[in-house]
Structure 1
Amino acid sequence: MDVLLNERSSQRKWKDISISKKIYFLFGGLLSIIFIESVVLYTSIQTLSSVRALVAAEGKWSRAQKSAMNQIHSYMISKDPIHFYAFQKSLEKIKGVQEARKEIESNHPNYEIFYSGLTKIGNHPEDVPGMFYILYNFKNFEPIKKPIEIWATADKNIAELWRVGQNLHEKFLSQNDQEADIQLAQAKLEVLDGRLSSLENDFSESLSLGARNMEGLIFTSVLMSVLLLGSLFSIFVIRFTRELKRNFKKIEVSTSKIGHGDLKERILIDQENELGQIATAINQMV
């Protein structure tokens, strides 16, 4: 009973609201829908842009890794320290990205470390905030979780690459290098190069798949929000126009009867808005 009374009370309040306020309400609702959809669309575009930036970042990481591998190979052949220093420089860039990953996995990440690591390898500073948002907030979401796991595995192989290069450098410095040492280092480098190339491909494919999944999710979210908000707005518009049309029809019919001499005719509009006031005024006139 209380629910029924509350429903009737709500309907009564709606009927008594002035027409101008109802129009403002509908106009405000339309603006709200436009605003919400704009926010959803902007967020969607930013999300996809950030995922694309992550794919580009993988390319920069891959180039740094290939550069390090080429430099250490050149160092084995020439024993020129300049190649070892170039090897170190390339791995320093990757080390910055490794530190960035550790911050993502932390419960209390340091954004400055993340920012420094990602920009050091060549990512545009404006892309970094979006990349951080995606990686940190969706790190447990499978399309993002898997690339991070691949990233962590690649970092372990990079650490091994660093050890191979460092050991080789120490032997060259001590002039205690043997052909067998160089061959062993060569074999390890070939294994690491194969692993890293495979991991790079897995990372790109996994992230691309994640991007496609997110595109589908975003499209569904936008579509559902449009349908939901559009349906609610349509219900209010239909309800308002039907009520307006019904009351104008009452006024038209009653005034026609009054015009033909039926002075007992009364306009029955049980509302306290503009139409109710017009009906009351006409009823008082006759």
Structure 2
Amino acid sequence: MLQLWRTLRAPPGLFRTVWLFTVIVLFQAFVAGISMETLSSVRAYVVGESLWSKAQADAIYSLSRYAETGEDNYYRRYQSAIAVPLGGRNARLALEQPVPDPKLAFQGLLQGGNHAEDIPGMIWLFRRFSDTSYLAPAIQSWRDTAAVIQKLVDTADSIHRDRQAGRVGPIWLASRRSQIDSISERATPLAVAFSERLGVGSRAIQRLLLIVNLLTAALLILLGT
């Protein structure tokens, strides 16, 4: 029996080697997992920005049609569309508070059309990377849109009140068209800047994570050797 144990017993150095490579594999898997989660969150922001831009354009168009026709279905379409950028704005404000409110941010991002499973990662990415050179310009573009969105909301409320009260006419319509066109002219370049800066930031993060994974793998191989 003792002879059998001696035969089966592995050399002491083997256990040390096995444990070393187990730690190496686990650490590399951890780094890869963090990288995948970060990339998934970046992708969610890119998708969210696309929804945001489309909703903003839809809101401006629907409001313009409502001002011209007074048809309630256009106003309802405006309300549905404007809810998306308003949800995003609420989420950003919730995360920029001195004490961030993740629950309020979750509701805002959900209102913005983002998938519920993506939102925790989006909140994590904002809280960890919003002040870095990779995402800070995109976040600033996002902030810059707030005044235009609020102007659109105020204009829509005013148009709706006038329509409900019957205070309309050729001069009123010309004035409202001018207001909506002015908002559109301000909103379009801001949306383009937001999209471009987010694209630049997302590509930079992807390159950074690739480099981190390659360096980590090389370091762990060296240590293992």
TM-score, normalised relative to structure 1? 0.71
Q: Tell me whether 78-87 or 129-138 shows the greater mean CA deviation.
A: 78-87
| Superposed CA offset, 1:178-198 (max 9, x none) | 423322221221122122222
The aligned counterpart of 1:189 is: 180
Percent identity (aligned): 25
Please point out which of 107, 111, 114 is paired with 1:116. Answer: 107
The aligned counterpart of 1:48 is: 39
| Alignment-mate amino acid for residue 158 of structure 1 | I
Displacement of 1:93 in angstroms is 3.0
The aligned counterpart of 2:171 is: 180
Alpha carbon RMSD of aligned pairs, Å?
1.6
The aligned counterpart of 1:202 is: 193
* 1:103–1:114 CA contact under 8 A, matched in 2: yes
Structure 1 segment 105-254 matched on structure 2, within 5 A:
105-234=96-225
Displacement of 1:142 in angstroms is 1.7
The aligned counterpart of 1:58 is: 49
Structure 1 segment 269-284 matched on structure 2, within 5 A:
none
Q: Tell me whether 62-71 or 154-163 shows the greater mean CA deviation.
A: 62-71
TM-score, normalised relative to structure 2? 0.89
The reply on whether 1:79 has 2:91 as its aligned counterpart is no
The reply on whether 1:93 has 2:80 as its aligned counterpart is no
Which SS does the other structure have where 2:177 is aligned? helix
* Structure number, greater radius of gyration: 1
Which SS does the other structure have where 2:167 is aligned? coil
CA distance in 2, matches of 1:72, 1:59: 20
Displacement of 1:157 in angstroms is 0.4
CA distance in 1, matches of 2:76, 2:202: 37
Which SS does the other structure have where 2:100 is aligned? coil
| Superposed CA offset, 1:84-114 (max 9, x none) | 2332232233222111010221232221211
* 2:28–2:217 CA contact under 8 A, matched in 1: yes
CA distance in 2, matches of 1:41, 1:165: 47
CA distance in 2, matches of 1:20, 1:104: 55
- The runs of 5 or more residues in structure 1 that have no matched partner are 1-18, 235-286
| Alignment-mate amino acid for residue 144 of structure 2 | T
CA distance in 2, matches of 1:65, 1:210: 22
| Superposed CA offset, 1:201-244 (max 9, x none) | 2111111111111112111211221222221221xxxxxxxxxx
